[in-house]
Homo-oligomer: A and B are copies of this chain.
Amino acid sequence: MSDDPYGVDVVACKSRQQRLLAEMVEHGLEWVVLTRRESVQWLTGAYVGPLFAPAAAMNTEGRVTLVLPSRKTSLTVAADEVLPYEEKWCSTLRDEQRAASNTVMMSALPIKLRHVGGEWSQLGPDLLADCEGNVINIEPTIFRLRRQKDNDELRMLRRANDANRAMYKLAREIVEPGVNELDVYNELHAVAVQKLGEALTYFGQDFRSNARGGLPRDRKIEAGELYILDLGVGFRGYYSDNARTLAVGGEPSAKQVLAWERVSEVFPLVESTVRPGASCKQLFEEVQSLLDKSKPWVFNHHLGHGVGLAPHEGPHLNPSWDDTFAEGEFFTAEPGLYHEELRAGVRLEENYVVTATGCEKLTDYPLGL
């Protein structure tokens, strides 16, 4: 066991491998070969960053082969075999890393392959070319399995939120008329790095005042505007995503306060509705109806989504999907109301985890304007 409380949890990875194994049996698959970085990390714990091309394979005995950049093979991972591929030659990144990784993986797979699951968005024509049976796209299965977070993943997501907590606290100190959006962005980035004690693997979302969202502009914020800070970091591949709205100058208008109250009223509805088996789409529709009472202010985006190794995952609190909540899911709820007269709107975003009987809120930081 590593001293690092956020080190890779091999036992938790193996429980994910067992869940994938059950799916393989159900689909009649003899092998699954994963080539998307998030999938490889999900299955084995190996985080390698965006410049590399790892791969992982598992057979029906649950044996896992992992192909990693040669300089990363000492990472703590959940795999029975770790094989290196040459990601660099004499320090220079190779253009053909994916092919090199695939070649190593092919050498570890049986010559005659039948009934394999692969990831179609990152497969390549070389990897399973000799497969004599079916190659099915396993991506939808992986995405479905990723919805349910294990304890190690919740630990990473909570840790990423430590950065968010520090960012909102600082924002309440520094946001005032005349401050430049770029400087707010930089100071929030800095406090997130200080809080986590390491460089982030992602930094983004919404940093514009008097706007619905977007990256920061070279622009001074003004008294009377609402400043939606929808903040996200990456902590070793895991994302955070929640939002607060601040009244620039500290004296929100009566309409701005009313909009904030209307948006805030969504959370009790979320908290009383969500439990395993509840419909995400129906929750979205109830919230849409509730917020539609505030016209001409509009709510015209999703209510929320899962977060994990991608910024958006299932479950989808969204009319375009028909998802059902299940225990262990980590999701955001981010109701908002927007209108020019609000300069330009309120969005509040909380994070929850679905429990056996309901949901638990994870974002305990102040919600006020």
Contact = CB atoms under 8 A, between A and B. Distances in A.
B189 A93 contact: no
B139 A96 contact: yes
Given A91-B302, A218-B197, A121 B143 contact: no
A51 B239 CA distance: 13
A193 B198 contact: no
8 contacts: A90-B301, A90-B318, A91-B301, A91-B318, A98-B122, A182-B198, A186-B189, A189-B189
A312 interface: yes
B122 A122 contact: yes
Nearest to A216: B199
B218 A199 contact: no
Contact of A126 (B120, B199, B311): B120
A8 to B, nearest CB: 18
A182 B186 contact: no
Given A186-B194, A216-B199, A218-B198, A320 B93 contact: no
A contact residues, range: 35 or more
A282 to B, nearest CB: 15
A193 B182 contact: yes
A316 interface: yes
A125 interface: yes
Contact of A124 (B121, B183, B207, B302): B121
A291 to B, nearest CB: 14
A5 to B, nearest CB: 15
Interface centre among A122, A124, A183, A310 (most CB of B within 10 A): A124
B124 A98 contact: no
Interface centre among A92, A97, A118 (most CB of B within 10 A): A92
A170 interface: no
A25 B244 CA distance: 56
A113 to B, nearest CB: 14
Contacts of A123: 123-125
7 A-B pairs with the lowest CB-CB distances in the bound complex, closest first: A89-B320, A98-B121, A186-B190, A91-B301, A93-B312, A91-B302, A197-B218
